[in-house]
Amino acid sequence: MKPDHLAGSRLAEEMVANGHLSFSTAVTLRGRFSGTIEGTGHLVVAQGAEVHARITARVLTIAGLVVGDCHAEERVELLGSARLIGNVRTRALKLADGVDFEGQSEMIR
């Protein structure tokens, strides 16, 4: 699955943003973001993106770098290029070969 398959809002590669991001549909981050991210949709951190944030989403797909704790109601998917430094709390966790994950996972019901 390509992480850019979703329609929705995007933070372009050359963009740098800080603060609070909230969303209810699909969002793809390709640039750099620092702060907090809270949403009820699908968040994609694309390959090459760098995110330093506490993340809450319904579904989270990571192909880039995330530093911070992540909570996803349905699932977290780490693609082969993903690097996650932080803890994960979710119902389902999928890790591809080559993932760099430094943290703990907690599976919720």
Got the DSSP string for 63-75?
Answer: SSEEES-EEEEEE
Give this prediction's pTM: 0.91
pLDDT bin (cut points 50, 70, 90) of residue 1 is very low
> φ, ψ for residue 80 (rounded to 5)?
-55, -30
pLDDT bin (cut points 50, 70, 90) of residue 4 is very low
Alpha carbons 36 and 21: distance in angstroms, whole number: 6
Alpha carbons 79 and 84: distance in angstroms, whole number: 11
Which candidate, 29, 33, 28, places its Cα nearest to that of 16?
33
pLDDT bin (cut points 50, 70, 90) of residue 9 is low
- Show the tokens assigned to 75: 């699932």
Alpha carbons 3 and 35: distance in angstroms, whole number: 22
pLDDT in tens, 60-106: 999 999 999 999 999 999 999 999 999 999 999 999 999 999 999 99
